[in-house]
Amino acid sequence: MSRHALVVGAGVIGLSSAYHLRRRGFEVTVLERDRAGHAVASYGNAGIVVPSHFVPLAAPGVIGQALKWLLDPMSPFSVRPRPSLDLLRWSWRFWRSATVAQVRRAGPLLLALNLASRRLYSELVSELGVDVGFTPRGILMLCHTQRGLDEEAAMAAAARDLGLDARVLDLAAVRALEGSAELDVVGAVHVAEDAHLDPGALMQALRAHLERTGVRFALGTEVTGVRDHGTGAEVELRLPDTQRTTLRGDAVVIAAGSWSAQLARQLGLRLLLQPGKGYSLTIERPSQYLRTAAILVEARVSTTLIGGRFRIGGTMEIAGFDERVSQARLEGIKRSARRYFPRLPRAELDEAAPWTGFRPVSPDGLPYLGRAPRHANVVVATGHAMMGFSLGPVTGQLVAELVAGESPTLDLGLLDPGRHG
């Protein structure tokens, strides 16, 4: 008799978990609070798969830079002070984690996770048989200043030591690779292993595939509680008509993004998550664009060409679940884009559709991935921050291994959901 897994969340982590669970023969039900099934953060992001990003968000120098940005409403990172014990705990852990030792511990694991995810994306795209914009052109770390290029060159050396194909390019080499755009940069680092996709197309294709293979979706269904009763687990639900009910299964996967901490708390588990609001602008008919995914290094802004549209995104705003759109943040992205793309018309940026979404940010820059302590039938998969889309497939595979009682293919010790209490 097949086992039944309940997956809370229909973002890229939830759908990837459902995909790998179904491949192992589980009956799967995906529960999603959004009525359309659009877990927002998985649709409007840059769609980049980033083996190049092996340094966690909490790293040396980040605190000092963040303090410089604190009073700038257009800066790429901000923390809005507010009376919150959770924010205080998160901030304290972030400060404690921003060390060289933490980077040395976390870097090899992040690289292994991202490389595995890159391989799994290639296999998934082939199986889906649908054009989702998979583009294996690597990534360009574009530098506006010589200081920025020098710092990225040092990172490239570290990347090569870890086995990545990372090369420093001068302006002429950048232009040879991307001749169509007028760029104001001194050079770039190109990392060949990265790739990008159309996140919306990938999510739609994956959901359609799951439905064809028998995965059930309960949309507009808010999970208000999770319990492990020893022989299985159950979730309490608020249905679209406001009725409440209970659904039982053999296992529950908490993959609810920034909302996961509220559910985990009912299991006595403290996930120090903060919702990090990200922004993007998508130009429908761009006159300036890059075919290769890029990071505008000094501005902390990303660019990707997605189905002929040019998406420019960035910022990390720690301000709770505040859905208001900051025009200052959008203005900061626009100014940054024009600094690197001087011939990009301001009108195209002003007409671009804005997007915001909450990304679940842990204080040490690592996901929470593993069984909930003392609850063998509950698996937690959240806290991926800006790497959620990149790490979706490998997270799904590891979740399925855990639920199936298999030994994980990677050591998950650093990702223990109980590491913060």
Over residues 348-368, the pLDDT tens digits come to: 999 998 999 999 999 999 999
Mean pLDDT of 125-137: 96
pLDDT at 393 > cutoff 80: yes
Q: Strand, coil or helix: what is 212?
A: helix
Distances, alpha carbon 185 to alpha carbons 143, 195, 280, 291, 338, in Å: 5, 22, 22, 16, 12
- Strand ranges of the sheet holding 216-219, from the earlier edge strand across to the other edge: 216-219, 27-32, 4-8, 251-254, 375-382, 368-372
For the chain, how big is the Rg over CA atoms in Å?
Answer: 21
My answer on whether 319 and 350 are in the same domain is yes
Query: Which amino acid is present at 308?
Result: G
Q: 254 lies in which domain range?
A: 4-42+201-272+365-415
pLDDT at 134 > cutoff 80: yes
My answer on whether 184 and 59 are in the same domain is yes
Phi, psi of 314 (to 5 degrees): 170, -165
Domain final position from 339, 361, 383: 361
My answer on whether 249 and 394 are in the same domain is yes
The answer to the question of residue 345 being in a domain is yes
pLDDT at 67 > cutoff 80: no
Instruction: Kindly report, residue by residue over 253-287, the tens digit of the pLDDT.
Output: 999 999 999 999 999 999 999 999 999 999 999 99
Phi, psi of 84 (to 5 degrees): -145, 120
The answer to the question of residue 47 being in a domain is no
Mean pLDDT of 127-134: 96
329-336 long-range contacts, CB within 8 A, separation 24+? 329/73, 329/74, 329/279, 330/279, 330/281, 330/354, 331/74, 332/73, 332/74, 332/75, 332/76, 333/279, 333/280, 333/281, 333/301, 334/281, 335/74, 336/76, 336/296, 336/299, 336/301
The answer to the question of residue 111 being in a domain is no
pLDDT at 147 > cutoff 80: yes
Strand locations in 160-254 (E): 166-170, 187-191, 195-196, 216-219, 222-228, 233-238, 244-249, 251-254
Alpha carbon dihedral 385, 387, 392, 393, in 10-degree steps, equals -150
> What percent of the chain lies above the pLDDT cut of 90?
84
Range name among 33-37, 254-258, 299-303, 353-357 with the lowest pLDDT average: 33-37
The answer to the question of residue 113 being in a domain is no
Contacts of 67 (CB under 8 A, 6+ apart): none
Query: Which amino acid is present at 384?
Result: H
The answer to the question of residue 372 being in a domain is yes
The answer to the question of residue 383 being in a domain is yes
Question: In this structure, what CATH number is given to the domain that contains residue 212?
Answer: 3.50.50.60
Strand partners, 167: 190
My answer on whether 84 and 168 are in the same domain is yes
pLDDT at 37 > cutoff 70: no
Please tell me what DSSP assigns to residue 354: E
pLDDT band at 77 (very low <50, low <70, confident <90, very high): confident
My answer on whether 151 and 83 are in the same domain is yes
Q: Which residue has the higher pLDDT, 89 or 77?
A: 89
Mean pLDDT of 98-124: 96
pLDDT at 310 > cutoff 90: yes
My answer on whether 163 and 279 are in the same domain is yes
Query: Which amino acid is present at 406?
Result: E
Residues 231 and 382: beta-carbon distance below 8 Å: no
Range name among 117-121, 178-182, 294-298, 386-390 with the lowest pLDDT average: 178-182
pLDDT at 408 > cutoff 80: yes
Question: In this structure, what CATH number is given to the domain that contains residue 159?
Answer: 3.30.9.10
Residues 412 and 419: beta-carbon distance below 8 Å: no
My answer on whether 223 and 93 are in the same domain is no
Mean pLDDT of 281-306: 97
My answer on whether 74 and 215 are in the same domain is no
Report the chain's mean pLDDT, rounded to a whole number: 94
Total structural domains in the chain?
Answer: 2
Domain final position from 346, 361, 376: 361
pLDDT at 187 > cutoff 80: yes
My answer on whether 341 and 382 are in the same domain is no
My answer on whether 230 and 370 are in the same domain is yes
pLDDT at 1: 60
pLDDT at 39: 63
The answer to the question of residue 283 being in a domain is yes
For residue 313, the surrounding DSSP H or E stretch is strand 309-318
pLDDT at 353: 87
**For residues 129 and 122, what is the distance between their CA atoms, to the nearest angstrom?**
11
pLDDT at 40: 66
Tokens of 355: 């997007």
pLDDT at 234 > cutoff 90: yes
My answer on whether 154 and 137 are in the same domain is yes
For residue 103, the surrounding DSSP H or E stretch is helix 100-128
Residues 272 and 420: beta-carbon distance below 8 Å: yes
My answer on whether 353 and 285 are in the same domain is yes
> What percent of the chain lies above the pLDDT cut of 70?
98
**For residues 329 and 326, what is the distance between their CA atoms, to the nearest angstrom?**
5
pLDDT at 57: 87
Name which of 73, 65, 97, 86 is nearest 320 in CA terms. 86
The answer to the question of residue 160 being in a domain is yes
Angle between helices 100-128 and 199-212 (to 10 degrees): 60
pLDDT at 141 > cutoff 70: yes
Residues 366 and 383: beta-carbon distance below 8 Å: yes
pLDDT at 194 > cutoff 90: yes
Return the number of other C-beta atoms located less than 10 Å from residue 184's C-beta.
Answer: 13
- List, in sequence order, the alpha helices (H) in 182-340: 199-212, 260-264, 327-340
Instruction: Kindly report, residue by residue over 42-55, the tens digit of the pLDDT.
Output: 888 999 999 999 99
Phi, psi of 60 (to 5 degrees): -55, 140
pLDDT at 38 > cutoff 70: no
